[in-house]
Amino acid sequence: MRFTYAEAMTNPDYYLPLAQAAEKVGFHSMTVPDSICYPEESDSVYPYNADGSREFLEDKAFPEAFILTSAMGAVTSTLRFTPFVLKLPVRPPVLVAKQAATIAHMTNNRLGLGVGVSPWREDFEVMGVPFAKRGKRMDEAIDIVRGLTRGDYFEFHGEFYDVPSIKINPVPTEPIPILIGGHSDAALRRAAVRGDGWMHAGGDPDELDRLLGVLQKYREEAGTADRPFEIHVISLDGYTPDGIRRLEDKGVTDVVVGFRNSYAEGPDLEPLEAKIANLEGYAESVIART
């Protein structure tokens, strides 16, 4: 099992020392939150909390995901960084490929590119991207990012994007894993067909087994079940050695843990020292015992 530390919506000055602390105590990776903006008015529903409200996001700091990743990568040497998740279809995929390839190169292959479809219609509107057919747009964007980050000449001619034969430089020495986030049927199928892994967003513990079963079915149908595949899961089982073993039995490769309720409204008042103590305590009670 590999261990990922999740922190979001906290004091931006905390991220670099927290990345260093997570690396020091044995975490394999750290998530990187992504948010474009907070609209003053919205009818959108957030799919991963109980009531669909979005108010917990207001006045929370979200440093730009790639810039934050670059900063944390510069002060660490082994920790991997995983956007959780980058809202890919609202962004130009050629630019995303350039950004991701540069970060992966500069950090010696320490980027796992978690991507998803934004739940906010407003993200599409402010970026000038149609909300309709966002899933198909996402599929094309994944193919473009994967193709360009390999470093050879690549061209793409689809419904939404038309990319002439180009290549980018620098690129990493290893392929960038593309991890698909989301619980919808479309997201699970996308992960099975196009992804190098799947990122679970938490929620009802009883739902996890069903999601893993559907994902496995789609991988078998797509003929990808024998390929290396990462499964990142948020679960209460991630907080005990016995729970870690249960997750391993389910095929989970990466457990994602955090130490506060990110959905709480209001500012994060937990001091940096307490956050580092949480990391150290978890490493001692779980990582060292698995």
The CATH number assigned to the domain holding 11 equals 3.20.20.30
pLDDT of residue 232: 98
Average pLDDT, the chain: 96
Q: What is the pLDDT of residue 157?
A: 98
Residues 6+ apart with CB under 8 A from 229: 195, 196, 197, 198, 219, 253
Cα-based distances in Å from 258 to 120, 132, 174, 278? 24, 34, 29, 9
> How far apart are the two ends of the chain, measured CA to CA in Å?
8
Residue with more model confidence, 1 or 41:
1
For residue 47, the model assigns a pLDDT of 77
Asked if residue 43 has pLDDT above 90, the reply is no
- In whole angstroms, give the CA distance from residue 15 to residue 34: 14
Residue 268 has pLDDT above 90, yes or no: yes
Mean pLDDT across the stretch 31-46? 90
Task: Give the C-alpha separation, 112 to 83, whole Å.
Answer: 7
Query: Mean pLDDT across the stretch 251-262?
Result: 96
Asked if residue 219 lies in contact with residue 204, where contact means CB atoms within 8 angstroms, the answer is no
Q: How many structural domains are present in the chain?
A: 1
Instruction: Work out the average pLDDT over 264-277.
Output: 95
- Interval 194-221 mean pLDDT: 96
pLDDT band at 41 (very low <50, low <70, confident <90, very high): confident
51 pLDDT exceeds 90?
no
More confident residue, 87 or 53: 87
Enclosing H/E stretch for 72: helix 65-74
Q: What is the mean pLDDT of residues 177-202?
A: 97
Structure tokens at 252: 């989970």
Domain extent for 134: 2-289
Report CA-CA distances (Å) from 119 to 84, 85, 191.
13, 11, 17
Q: What is the dihedral of CA 173, 138, 86, 227, to 10 degrees?
A: -50
156 pLDDT tier (thresholds 50, 70, 90): very high
pLDDT category at 174 given cuts 50, 70, 90 is very high
What is residue 119's predicted lDDT score, i.e. its pLDDT? 86
For the segment 76-81, the average pLDDT, to the nearest whole number, is 98
Question: Is residue 50 over pLDDT 90?
Answer: no
- Token pair belonging to 284: 């001692």
79-95 burial code (b ≥16 CB/10 A, e <16): bbbbbbbbbbbbbebbe
Instruction: Pick 218 or 263 by higher pLDDT.
Output: 218
> What's the pLDDT band for 273 if we cut at 50, 70, 90?
very high
| Residue 55 pLDDT greater than 90, yes or no | no
Looking at 28-37, 45-54, 176-185, 188-197, which range is the least confident one? 45-54
Residue type for position 214: V
Q: How far apart are CA 177 and CA 272, in angstroms?
A: 31
pLDDT computed for residue 216 by the predictor: 98
Following DSSP, what letter does each residue of 14-68 receive, concatenated?
Answer: GHHHHHHHHHHHT-SEEEE-------SS-----TTSTT---GGGTT-----HHHH
Confidence at residue 214, expressed as pLDDT on a 0 to 100 scale: 98
